[in-house]
């Protein structure tokens, strides 16, 4: 048992509390400090005997959440008090009425919202989606609820190291699935980046550590480069009398990891590892002119890439972000991203919605897409009566999209997600076609940035299912789904009437038993689906006459389904045959039992990989790598079906793995590669494919290995073959 030094803990608690007050001091009004102290004392008493998994006093958590609110988001006293009390109602005997009596209605409302959304990911996917909708309702009422929830999640991610491995994976995946996109949408870029970095730290620890090591390793060179790069810019800005700050900092670990993965390149080939940020102290009236003047100065010294200019000052992003971005070539031939903005813009970029709101209070005429977005969320919540899971997917789909700007024929500007179609512009309504200058375009044509679009409508036009795959916005999808839902109801009624009429003509009773047999005969999930297909003509009404010998037909149907499943599982069976009679390669579940499992085809795990088990509905337990492309969705949305799994040390069992090789072509190269694999290392190959172009070859090899150490040894040996430039694993 760990001994606790209560005096040291008391000192640490006071130290954290004083730091909170110090950070909040510039924004405090008379009486605020007293209110914060009162909230602190209530929280301290409420959590007196509680400790976190790390063994630390629980009070550390609300103190740190409150500190994030004031220091990193820029929230005020009401939010600080709410953050200090955010777990009191859920974890103690305090009621909301007690909070309202002691701290007022606003604090009580925020605490109520935080309590309601505390279990967003605690149940099955359907309940989670309903909780998510509830969470967004609090956003439309008071955005501070979501901002405090983000601060809460950030602190939980920072302290995730003390949690069990399966909890780390679940919480990290939830964070990536919802909280990082929400932080992005609310303009909290620093918090979004840290959440992504922490996600990578716990789901792909090796990659995270490698990138951190290389960033630190290149720090001295990077600092020298930045100093040389900014020197002429600083001199010119000083000469012209600008007040400014210049920062140079590396890109986030996750963004570097993403580039390496998407482009298939090593760390050394990521050219924009850092960005230069020039922050001007400008009067608001002169902001735009000053930023463009600085852009002119930068491009006088360094040649810009014309395809990399981003003007978010003339047209800010919908989350309020304003900045001027360009990429220029340094004197040493290295591309460098330069961001130019003012102090006001920088505060909004760092603190998102809270900073935007502060400036809006000073200027009520100031409005941004962030207000429009929250209004849009409110509208979607009020109008959406369909599946909560569909709503959640649609909403998430719009959080991270880039934007496209289009004009109406009257010259009004509309901002839509990049890749939007004329259907999005029309809002999913009864559109016949869209006209995009200078010529007419069909409704499937994606809008280009700065198009002018006119929508031609028709009352005869009805939405179809394929419209859903050609829209990006939640609003358009919701309207199309509403229309399709109404149309489906009508088709079901028509189909039911047709079936009733046909069965009567066939002298069959129209009852639930016969309808159920018809449903099974046509292999449909519900009677309504059967009615719908009849009503729409997808199933010809005359086909009902073929409803004979039902049991024989059903047996044939079942047999074909079994054959299909057998074909789809052949890959897994091949692996199982190679594994032989031993089944103790994996230990699964809380008790680390030996049970049957299948290897997920989406990521092909092998011994040594960090893995988890997922209980499927029809295919037993499937084993996935924690870095699997599907891991985030599975761990966050179906956490109740995720189980622990880890490899034992058993050897001589073969697992399929893939290698990608790149090199300079020469006679005998493939022979040398296969010799290393088959003769020297005694590895069985399943397939090898090679393409050669202009003296460079690229190939893929699928082979069977025992574990990750075996695979790493193979990669090292192949890398030594003359002409081989790069060997890497793929899923």
97 part of a folded domain: yes
Please tell me whether residue 427 adopts helix, strand or coil conformation: coil
Domain that holds residue 535: 482-567
Contact 397, 472 (CB under 8 A): yes
Least reliable range by pLDDT among 24-28, 172-176, 577-581: 577-581
Taking the model in full, what pTM does it have?
0.63
463 part of a folded domain: no
**Mean pLDDT of the region 642-648:** 77
Which pLDDT band holds residue 77 (cuts at 50, 70, 90)? very high
Identify whether 112 is a catalytic site residue.
Answer: no
Q: Do 521 and 597 sit in the same domain of this protein? A: no
- Is residue 112 over pLDDT 50? yes
pLDDT at 568: 39
75 part of a folded domain: yes
Question: Please, what is the average pLDDT of the chain?
Answer: 77
Could you report the per-residue pLDDT of 241-265, keeping only the tens digit for each? 999 999 888 889 999 999 888 888 8
Which residues fall within 8 angstroms of residue 119, CB to CB, at 6 or more apart?
Answer: 131
CB atoms under 10 Å from CB of 240, counted, come to: 11
Please pick, among 32, 72, 91, 509, the residue that the annotation labels catalytic.
Answer: 91
User: What's the residue count for the chain?
Assistant: 731
Could you report the per-residue pLDDT of 503-555, keeping only the tens digit for each? 888 888 888 888 887 787 777 778 888 888 888 887 777 677 666 444 444 44
pLDDT at 119: 58
Q: Do 153 and 30 sit in the same domain of this protein? A: yes
Among 112, 139, 162, residue at a domain's last position: 162
- Is residue 323 over pLDDT 90? yes
**Mean pLDDT of the region 556-571:** 43
Question: If 0-12 CB within 10 Å is exposed, 13-18 middle and 19+ buried, where does residue 10 land?
Answer: exposed
Q: Do 625 and 664 sit in the same domain of this protein? A: no
Between the two ends of the chain, the Cα-to-Cα distance in Å is: 44
For every residue of 358-413, DSSP letters joined together read HHHHH-TT---HHHHHHHHHHHHHHH--S-HHHHHHHHHHTTS--EEEEE-TT--E
10 part of a folded domain: yes
pLDDT at 410: 55
**Mean pLDDT of the region 459-471:** 67
Distances, alpha carbon 625 to alpha carbons 88, 609, 644, 646, 647, in Å: 37, 6, 12, 11, 12
**Mean pLDDT of the region 658-681:** 80
pLDDT at 595: 64
Least reliable range by pLDDT among 169-183, 653-667, 676-690: 676-690
Among 162, 178, 205, residue at a domain's last position: 162
Q: Do 29 and 147 sit in the same domain of this protein? A: yes
Please tell me whether residue 9 adopts helix, strand or coil conformation: helix
339 part of a folded domain: no
Distances, alpha carbon 199 to alpha carbons 157, 204, 627, in Å: 8, 8, 11
Better pLDDT: 425 or 157? 157
Q: Do 15 and 133 sit in the same domain of this protein? A: yes
**Mean pLDDT of the region 467-490:** 73
Looking only at the bridges linking them, the beta strands covering 685-693 and 413-417 are unpaired
Identify whether 90 is a catalytic site residue.
Answer: yes
- Is residue 687 over pLDDT 70? yes
- Is residue 378 over pLDDT 70? no
- Is residue 436 over pLDDT 70? no
Which pLDDT band holds residue 121 (cuts at 50, 70, 90)? low
Q: Do 150 and 56 sit in the same domain of this protein? A: yes
**Mean pLDDT of the region 399-425:** 57
Contact 679, 642 (CB under 8 A): no
Please pick, among 90, 95, 217, 680, the residue that the annotation labels catalytic.
Answer: 90
Rg of the chain's alpha carbons, rounded to an integer?
30
- Most confident among 16-25, 267-276, 314-323 (mean pLDDT): 16-25
DSSP 302: S
Which pLDDT band holds residue 416 (cuts at 50, 70, 90)? low
- Is residue 470 over pLDDT 50? yes
Q: Do 31 and 150 sit in the same domain of this protein? A: yes
Region at 508 (left for phi over 0; alpha for psi -120 to 50; beta for the rest): beta
Better pLDDT: 459 or 638? 638
Preceding peptide of 174 cis, ω within 30°? no
Least reliable range by pLDDT among 70-79, 198-207, 349-358, 617-626: 349-358
If one counts the domains in the chain, the total is 4
Which residues fall within 8 angstroms of residue 529, CB to CB, at 6 or more apart?
Answer: 519
- Is residue 418 over pLDDT 70? no
Please tell me whether residue 356 adopts helix, strand or coil conformation: helix
Contact 203, 177 (CB under 8 A): no
> Residue 697: in which H helix or E strand, if any?
strand 696-705
679 part of a folded domain: yes
212 part of a folded domain: no
pLDDT at 577: 44
Q: Do 563 and 574 sit in the same domain of this protein? A: no
516 part of a folded domain: yes
Looking only at the bridges linking them, the beta strands covering 303-304 and 274-280 are unpaired
Distance CA 426, CA 430 (A): 8
Among 129, 162, 195, residue at a domain's last position: 162
Q: Do 11 and 158 sit in the same domain of this protein? A: yes
Q: Do 10 and 144 sit in the same domain of this protein? A: yes
Distances, alpha carbon 219 to alpha carbons 53, 78, 224, 269, 491, in Å: 35, 41, 9, 16, 66
Contact 663, 726 (CB under 8 A): yes
CATH number at residue 693: 3.30.70.260
Q: Do 13 and 149 sit in the same domain of this protein? A: yes
Distance CA 274, CA 222 (A): 9
Q: Do 620 and 723 sit in the same domain of this protein? A: no
CATH number at residue 35: 1.10.3210.10
Within 13 Å and on the Cβ side, how many CA atoms surround 302? 24
- Is residue 108 over pLDDT 80? yes
């Amino acid at each position: 048992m760990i001994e606790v030094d209560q005096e040291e803990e008391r000192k640490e608690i006071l130290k954290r509390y004083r730091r909170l007050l110090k950070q909040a001091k510039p924004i405090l009004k008379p009486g605020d400090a007293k209110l914060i102290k009162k909230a602190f004392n209530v929280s301290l008493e409420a959590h007196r005997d509680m400790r976190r998994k790390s063994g630390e006093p629980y009070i550390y958590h609300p103190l740190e959440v409150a500190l994030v609110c004031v220091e990193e988001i820029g929230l005020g006293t009401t939010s600080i008090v709410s953050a200090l009390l955010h777990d009191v109602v859920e974890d103690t005997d305090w009621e909301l009425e007690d909070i309202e009596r002691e701290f007022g209605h606003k604090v009580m409302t925020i605490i109520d919202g935080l309590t309601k959304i505390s279990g967003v990911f605690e149940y099955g996917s359907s309940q989670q989606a309903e909780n998510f909708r509830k969470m967004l309702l609090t956003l439309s009422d008071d955005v501070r609820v979501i901002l405090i929830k983000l601060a809460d999640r950030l602190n939980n991610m920072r302290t995730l190291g003390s949690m069990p491995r399966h909890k780390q994976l679940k919480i990290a995946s939830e964070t990536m699935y919802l909280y990082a996109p929400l932080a992005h949408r609310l303009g909290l870029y620093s918090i979004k980046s840290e959440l992504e970095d922490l996600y990578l730290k716990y789901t792909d620890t090796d990659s995270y550590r490698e990138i951190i090591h290389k960033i630190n390793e290149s720090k001295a060179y990077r600092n020298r480069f930045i100093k040389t790069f900014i020197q002429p810019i600083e001199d010119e800005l000083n000469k012209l009398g600008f007040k400014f700050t210049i920062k140079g900092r590396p890109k986030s670990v996750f963004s570097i990891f993403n580039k390496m993965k998407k482009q298939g390149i090593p760390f050394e080939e990521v050219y924009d590892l850092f960005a230069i940020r020039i922050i001007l102290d400008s009067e608001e009236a002169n902001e735009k002119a000053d930023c463009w003047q600085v852009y002119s100065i930068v491009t006088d010294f360094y040649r810009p890439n014309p395809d990399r200019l981003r003007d978010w000052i003339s047209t800010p992003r919908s989350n309020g972000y304003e900045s001027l971005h360009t990429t220029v070539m340094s004197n040493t031939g290295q591309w460098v991203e330069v961001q130019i903005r003012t102090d006001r813009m920088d505060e909004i970029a760092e603190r998102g919605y809270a900073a935007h709101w502060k400036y809006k209070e000073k200027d009520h005429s100031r409005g941004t897409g962030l207000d429009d977005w929250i209004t849009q969320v409110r509208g979607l919540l009020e109008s959406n009566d369909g599946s909560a899971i569909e709503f959640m997917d649609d909403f998430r789909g719009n959080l991270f999209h880039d934007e496209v700007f289009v004009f109406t024929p009257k010259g009004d500007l509309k901002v839509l997600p990049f890749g939007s179609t004329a259907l999005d512009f029309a809002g999913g309504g009864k559109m016949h076609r869209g006209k995009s200058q200078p010529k007419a375009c069909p409704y499937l044509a994606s809008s280009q940035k700065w198009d002018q679009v006119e929508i031609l409508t028709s009352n005869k036009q009805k939405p179809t299912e394929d419209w859903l795959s050609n829209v990006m916005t939640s609003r358009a999808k919701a309207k199309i789904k509403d229309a399709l839902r109404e149309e489906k109801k009508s088709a079901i009624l028509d189909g039911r009437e047709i079936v009733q009429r046909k069965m009567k003509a066939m002298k069959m009773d129209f009852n639930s038993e016969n309808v159920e047999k018809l449903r099974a005969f046509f292999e449909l999930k519900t009677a309504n689906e059967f009615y719908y297909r009849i009503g729409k003509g997808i199933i010809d009404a005359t086909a009902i006459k073929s409803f004979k010998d039902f049991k024989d037909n059903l047996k044939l149907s079942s047999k074909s389904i079994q054959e299909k499943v057998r074909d789809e599982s052949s890959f897994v069976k091949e692996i199982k045959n190679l594994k032989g009679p031993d089944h103790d390669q994996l230990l699964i579940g809380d008790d680390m039992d030996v049970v049957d499992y299948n290897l997920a085809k989406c990521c092909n795990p092998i011994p040594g990989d960090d893995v988890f088990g997922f209980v499927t509905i029809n295919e037993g337990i499937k084993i996935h790598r924690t870095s699997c492309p599907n891991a985030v969705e599975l761990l966050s949305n179906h956490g109740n079906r995720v189980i622990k799994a880890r490899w034992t040390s058993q050897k001589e069992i073969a697992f399929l793995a893939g290698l990608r090789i790149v090199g300079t072509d020469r006679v005998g190269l493939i022979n040398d590669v296969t010799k290393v694999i088959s003769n020297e290392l005694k590895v069985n190959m399943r397939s090898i494919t090679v393409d050669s172009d202009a003296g460079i070859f690229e190939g893929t090899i699928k082979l069977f290995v025992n574990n990750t150490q075996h695979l790493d040894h193979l990669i090292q040996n192949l890398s030594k073959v003359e002409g081989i430039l790069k060997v890497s694993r793929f899923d």
